[in-house]
Structure 1
Amino acid sequence: MARILLVGGGRGLQNLIRERTPNLRTIVLARTSAIGLVPDLEVNDFVGLLPESASTEEWVQTARAIQTLWPYERVTALAEIDQDKAAAIAADQNMEYHAPDLVRVVNDKHEMRQRLAKVSLTRVDSELPRDEHEAVESARRLGYPVVIKPNGGRGSAGVRIVESDSAVIDAFRYASEIGTDSGAEKACLISSPPMIEQFVNGREFSVEAFSHEGNHVIAAVTEKFIDQASKVEIGHVVPARISGLEHEQITEFVDAILTALGIRFGATHTEVMLSEHGPELIETHLRKAGDEILELVRDATGWTIDEATVDQAATGRFIHPGWDEAVARTGGHYTGAAAIWFAQAEKTGRIDRIQGLDELLSQTEVREAKALVAKGTLVGAARSSLDRVARVRVVAQDSDTAVAIASGYMETLSFVYQEDS
């Protein structure tokens, strides 16, 4: 009977891999803070937990010990946290997974940009200042406006666009603070210093792709909606409202990025800015998109990337979604549209309830209407996507209609705070 080592969490994906491959046995090795991301502990042959301070070598040695007692043939990480550990374990045991160097580079935004610059796939310069004084000097060299963010951040955490020396100092301190918020469900994967890079003006998109043996299937281009105050994403729609030519520009650019980085398999989520000079990379990730974007992709294309992910991890096999690749590159493969919208807290306080969600669930176009915080949770100004308080996901015939419905329904919700009730 086949057995796989699952490194880190993965919630629904860990259950899905067992559902899709019934004869597969699973072992989990995770950090202690990720235990809540491991569902149904008892169905695994073994679950091991390592302290937050454990070194990569300790993970590798533990995986070797597990191999002697519960032999496994494959290894994977079904969540972004601890992909570096999975990569080190796979390399040590000569198993297929992302190369350790690839995981390291993708999680280091500054180094990734430097590597892509060498093959002319980014025009954006970036620096890693060590303190506020160096940050000001970097900003002056790069030219205002600049973007300051944690080098290993995620979910828009700690991102600020600044246009003056004084603003650089504030943003550097903010990014430094957010950069220490690391862990399984934190703002950063690892503790990260601030990075500073040139600002690119344009429209923001993400590209959801899936790779197999170095070939990249582009599933969708997602249009993103950003709150200008917090820089946190407040909505997405698939397909993006762009021309076929722009769709092809973006997808071919991302294909080149994935190839240049050496990505050979698995789901990727790549964020790009479409500027007057063409597409420009923001960042890429060796994981599926968050924010229910893959649900939007499924509703708009019929392809469930989560199933492809676990099938490939469990067996090494891949079933193509069946569309013509040339048609898909220009956006001709979509069968409908889907959008999601998020709410941020209106003020600082403890949420008592969110009124209107149950009523939305009765609407035929609504696929999900959900509170993202429990009663009594202290909420306030959003600093990352983890701070949003509710979401609504819908389907429609076209993207304009989907955006209008999703954002409109969000406006119907009301938020009651405990101090007001």
Structure 2
Amino acid sequence: MTDNTEGVVLQLSSGFQPYREYLMRGAAARGPLWLIDDEPAGWQQPYIAGSSVVLPLEGAGLALDIDRLLAVADSIARIHGVRGVFTYDEPSVVATALVADRLKLPGLTAEGAQGCRDKARTRQALTDAGLPQPEFAVATTADEAATAAATIGYPVVVKPRGMAASIGVAVVDDASGIVEAFERADSSSRSGPAEYHGGALIEELVDGPEISVDGAVVAGEYQPFFVAHKQLGAPPYFEEIGHIVDGADPLLTDPELRKLLQSAHEAIGTPYGITHTEIRFSSKGPVVIEVNGRLGGDLIPYLGKLATGIDPGAILVDVARGNRPYLEADHRTCVGIRFCYPPEDARVVKISVPEPGAVPGLVEAHPMVAEGATVRLPPRAHIGRHAYVICTANDPATCADRLTAAAELVELKYDALNESDYSGRPW
């Protein structure tokens, strides 16, 4: 790909190729991309007009060198012209907003990006707007967590302030478990960006099924384009073990849900951008769980593309340029993913996956780790997956059955780790 007179669109971070290449391919089809990442481009080369390297700040987790990043963005704008900036990488959400602000481009405001990254700020913004969400408190110590949980009432959810993918999140049924849950959330937070280190949110446990909604905001108008129905693993953790996207999901046009999503984005401050919002349908109606300032993970946008033909990579570029994205589906079907987990903490010996068609509707099955890799389950680790399967069907129930059948054909040979935690106790 070569540059053109219309300028480039900046992309911050590219991610893991098997999970993210389809997004870069779709984005590149919309126009020239300039990648800013923490290492030189390799597999990304066919999709970019050029690239720059900005290294993370030493000792600051995943934080970029913001001053260096802004200087690089200024230089690219002078030489090539920049028409937009986007990311699908959670740790780069705030940095992307700062670049958009610096270059006077459409995007999440810095305040809105912080409101998405920092779960405590999300909660406060939604509270101030009077929107339905769990009762919550911010705790910086285990004693504060215990007091907050007693005030809210058990069971409660304990989560880090700035992590994604349900890392460090757990349900606590009574006072006997609150200290351990707080310490786990607090510890998990310290593996992320420095500004979110320490402490935890203590939240009311909301009943009901959970969905996620990928949507676009242009000039303040919110438009959903994919709805994914989550399958969660065994409590007390919130491990997401699968998702189903129905291209004809009636929730896409549900007026109550659309109004809630619009109001939530206005409250947080997101006039432009792509978001991934998590909603629970409680006995009292839909409740906002989180608003994230990027596309969904777990290949949810890929499922959406298979289910509708709508290209999420193209949407990223359209919104980055400040344009309303084209969201008309060319077909509508159900597509789901199921992640496979070992029965215990394991060292992988061999993974065998079924071929497409081995189960009706099975279109993909892939290992997620190499032979010899270690895979650990919550609470020792999160996202401890060794393979996934993707199936299609005409309806969600059939899709779910096919995913179960396909996952049962994944074979894992492993050696048990039989580890103890740092205190010498088995988890």
- TM exceeding 0.5: yes
- The corresponding residue for 2:328 is 322
Deviations along 1:378-413, one digit per CA (max 9) or x if unpaired, are 112145663211111111011110001001211222
Output one character per residue of 1:74-94: Cα deviation in whole Å (capped at 9) or x when no partner.
333242222211211221232
CA gap 1:245/1:227 in 2 versus in 1, 3 angstroms: same
CA deviation string 1:138-188 (max 9, x = no partner):
1111111111011111101011110222201000111112111226xxxx9
Q: Note the C-alpha offset of 1:65.
A: 4.5
Aligned partner of 1:269 in structure 2 is: 276
Asked whether 1:388 is paired with 2:385, we answer: yes
Which residue of structure 2 aligns with residue 402 of structure 1?
A: 399
Alignment correspondent of 1:378 = 374
216 and 273 in structure 1: CA distance in 2 versus 1, 3 angstrom threshold = same
**Does structure 1 residue 130 correspond to structure 2 residue 130?**
no
CA distance in 2, matches of 1:292, 1:78: 12
SS of the residue aligned with 2:148? helix
Is residue 296 of structure 1 aligned with residue 303 of structure 2? Answer: yes
- After superposition, the CA RMSD in angstroms is 3.1
Change in 2 beyond 3 A, CA 1:190/1:39: farther
Identity among equivalent pairs (%): 24
CA distance in 2, matches of 1:241, 1:127: 38
| Rounded Cα–Cα distance in structure 1 between residues aligned with 2:249 and 2:137 | 32
For residues 45 and 36 of structure 1, do their structure 2 counterparts lie closer, same or farther at Cα, with a shift above 3 Å needed?
Answer: closer
Compared CA separation, residues 394 and 16, structure 1 to 2 (3 A): same
Q: Which residue of 2 aligns with 1:330?
A: none
Q: Return the match for 1:93 from 103, 124, 127.
A: 103
Could you say which residue in structure 2 is the equivalent of 1:77? 87
Cα distance in 2 for residues equivalent to 1:416 and 1:404: 24
Q: Match for 1:233: what amino acid?
A: E
Distance in 1, Cα, partners of 2:56 & 2:231: 38
Q: 216, 220, 223: which one pairs with 2:222?
A: 216
Which of 202, 209, 229 lines up with 2:208 in the alignment? 202
Given the superposition, is the C-alpha separation of residues 172 and 87 from structure 1 closer, same or farther in structure 2, using an over 3 Å criterion? same
Residues 1:216 and 1:338: Cα distance change in structure 2 (over 3 Å): same
Query: What's 1:341 paired with?
Result: 338
Count of paired positions: 400
Counterpart pick for 1:64 among 74, 84, 87: 74
Change (3 A) 1:394 1:83: same
TM-score by length of structure 1 reads: 0.85
> Are 1:312 and 2:319 counterparts?
yes
Matched, 1:414 2:424: no
Secondary structure (helix, strand or coil) at the match of 2:216 reads strand
Assess, with a 3 A threshold, how the Cα gap between structure 1 residues 213 and 37 changes in structure 2: closer, same or farther.
farther
Cα distance change, pair 306–352 in 1 and its aligned pair in 2 (3 A): same
Residue by residue over 1:291-328, the C-alpha shift from the partner in whole angstroms, topping out at 9 and shown as x without a partner, is 12223223333322222223433x443343237xxxxx
Equivalences for 1:24-173 in 2 at 5 Å? 24=32, 26-31=33-38, 39-40=44-45, 44-53=49-58, 55-68=65-78, 71-173=81-183
Stretch deviating more after TM superposition (358-367 or 337-346): 358-367
For 1:405, give the aligned amino acid: R
SS of the residue corresponding to residue 81 of structure 1 reads helix
Shift of the alpha carbon at 1:205? 1.2
Structure 2 unpaired stretches of 5+:
59-63, 418-427
Partner Cα distance (1:214, 1:59) in 2:
27
Counterpart in the other structure of 1:366 = 362
Structure 1 segments unaligned to the other structure (5+ residues): 324-332
Contact 1:223/1:241 (8 A) holds in 2: no
Q: 1:276 to 1:234 in 2, by over 3 A?
A: same
TM-score w.r.t. the length of structure 2 is 0.84
SS in 2 for 1:386: coil
In the TM superposition, residue 269 of structure 1 has moved relative to its aligned partner by 1.2
* 2:297 aligned with 1:287: no
Deviation at 1:272, TM superposition (A): 0.9
